[in-house]
Structure 1
Amino acid sequence: MERRVLITVARDEVAPRFDLATEALLLTVADSGEIVSRKSFLMAHASGDELCDLALSRDIGTVVCGGIEDEYFHYLRWKRIEVIDSVMGPLEPVVSRLAAGALRAGDILFERSVTGV
């Protein structure tokens, strides 16, 4: 069975806050981990309420975001939408980990470079 995922986006990274995102990436992921479809949505303005409405109208099963206010988190959970929050990093590694079923709340996927060691 396929699952539909909404990821809040800022430039090429997961948006730092759900309610301040003006772009969303909608994915359909097959059980095999294959990305079946990928659509980008631009919002007229940042709005947590509109993102919630988008998730409900598109039958989204999972939302991936950075920080999220309790109001939106609990509303989405009440609507039976899984929320994977506090995720930080570039979009492609997040999508890859999500497709593999390994993305967890709190994951930080930025590459670290250590200098002067």
Structure 2
Amino acid sequence: MKILLTVQDNSIAPRFDQATEVIIAQYNGQTMTGEPRTIILPHRSAEELSDLIVKEGVQCVVCGGIEDSFHKFFLWKKITVIDGVIGDHSEALERVIAGELRPGAVLPSARGEH
């Protein structure tokens, strides 16, 4: 499964349409395959980010707020969206892999817990 996380300053970006950095990780159901890739986008564009998600074959998107039209587009494309996530991107990735990340999650890193 390919997982994409929108990133801003080591945290999940608060808004999908404002993200300029993403991390793409590959998970085979048991372990990560290779190192996660960081991609710096040339500018903020929800449309271009959506195109990248589809072209990369991403199956799960982790983000903060996302417009309903993009959320529906991803669902139509059979891409899981875990939105409204607040906290550190590495913690979010760990929780996705463990099957524990849910929409609206406020991670311990966002609450000052470790």
Deviations 1:40-87 (A, max 9, x none): 000000111011101100000010000000111111111111100000
TM-score by length of 1: 0.89
- Name the residue aligned to 1:45: 43
Pick the structure with more helix per residue.
2
2:94 aligned residue (93, 96, 101): 96
The structure number with the bigger radius of gyration is 1
TM-score by length of 2: 0.92
RMSD (CA atoms):
1.1
Deviating above 2 A after TM superposition, structure 1's stretches of 4 or more consecutive aligned residues are none
Pick the structure with more strand per residue.
1
Alignment length, in residue pairs?
A: 110
- TM-superposed CA distance for 1:112, in Å, is 3.5
Instruction: Report matched runs for 1:1-117 at 5 Å.
Output: 3-32=1-30, 34-37=31-34, 38-109=36-107, 110-112=110-112
Distance 1:97 1:82 in 2: 15
Distance 2:100 2:7 in 1: 19
Q: Given residue 16 of structure 1, which amino acid in structure 2 is its aligned partner? A: P
